[in-house]
Copies of this chain bind each other. A is one copy, B any other.
Amino acid sequence: MALRHAVLAALLDGEHSGYQLAKAFDVGMANFWHALPQQLYAELAKLERDGLITGREVVQEARPNKRLFTVTDAGLDELRRFAAGQSKPSSVRDDLMVKVAAADAVDTAELVGQLEERAAIAEAKIDLFDGLLRRMRGDADEAEFLARGRRIGPYLTCLRGRAFERENRDWCTRTAAVLRARAGADVRR
Interface residues of A (CB under 8 A from B): 5-6, 8-10, 12, 28-34, 76, 79-80, 82-84, 86-107, 110-111, 114, 118, 121, 146-148, 150-154, 156-157, 159-160, 163-164, 167, 170-171, 175, 178, 181-182, 185, 187-188
Question: Which residue, of A152, A159, A182, A185, has the highest number of chain B Cβ atoms within 10 A?
Answer: A152
A144 CB to nearest B CB, Å: 12
Q: Given B29, B97, B159, B163, which contacts A33 in the complex, CB threshold below 8 Å?
A: B97
The prevalent SS among residues of A at the interface is helix
How many copies of this kind of chain does the complex include?
2
Q: Is the CB of A185 within 8 A of B34?
A: no
- Could you tell me the distance between the alpha carbons of A30 and B94 in the complex, rounded to whole angstroms? 12
Q: Which residues of B are found within 8 Å of A84, using beta-carbon distances?
A: 107, 110
A114 CB to nearest B CB, Å: 7
Of chain B, the residue at the smallest CB distance from A177 is B146
Q: Which residues of B are found within 8 Å of A153, using beta-carbon distances?
A: 100-105
- Could you tell me the distance between the alpha carbons of A152 and B146 in the complex, rounded to whole angstroms? 41
